[in-house]
Amino acid sequence: MEIVRTKDSGTLQYEIFFNEDESEAMVFERYRDADAAIEHFSNISHLMEPIMATASVTGEVLGTPNAKMKEQLGKGGPMLFTPWMALQDQELAEEK
């Protein structure tokens, strides 16, 4: 978490959730854009080997990647889901 606070410039949200017995965790991350996500993963790259040695890690990427991120995801990384439909906060407020 310290890396996110001190080194990431475009992280909008970073939360870690554990199940009741703390045997499984989920990390929820949101970034300003693809460049911010790439920056984050560059900042934590030195942690990935020890994490992968002690845990089973899966993930999905939701958003619109730039060319660099597409290239990195093409190397067997997480599955990519691109936007299809969204209901924005403003639309919700107008409906009320």
Q: What is the CATH number of the domain that holds 44?
A: 3.30.70
**How far from chain centre, in Å, is Cα 81?**
12
Evaluate whether 20 touches 13 at the Cβ level (below 8 Å): no
Q: How many domains does the chain have?
A: 1
- The domain containing residue 14 runs over which residues? 2-95
Q: State percent of the chain over pLDDT 90.
A: 40
Q: Does the pLDDT at position 8 exceed 80?
A: yes
**Interval 50-76: pLDDT, tens:** 988 988 888 898 998 899 988 888 777
Q: Does pLDDT of 39 surpass 90? A: yes
Residues 6+ apart with CB under 8 A from 17: 25, 26, 27, 28
Distances (CA, A) of 83 to 8, 49, 63: 24, 31, 6
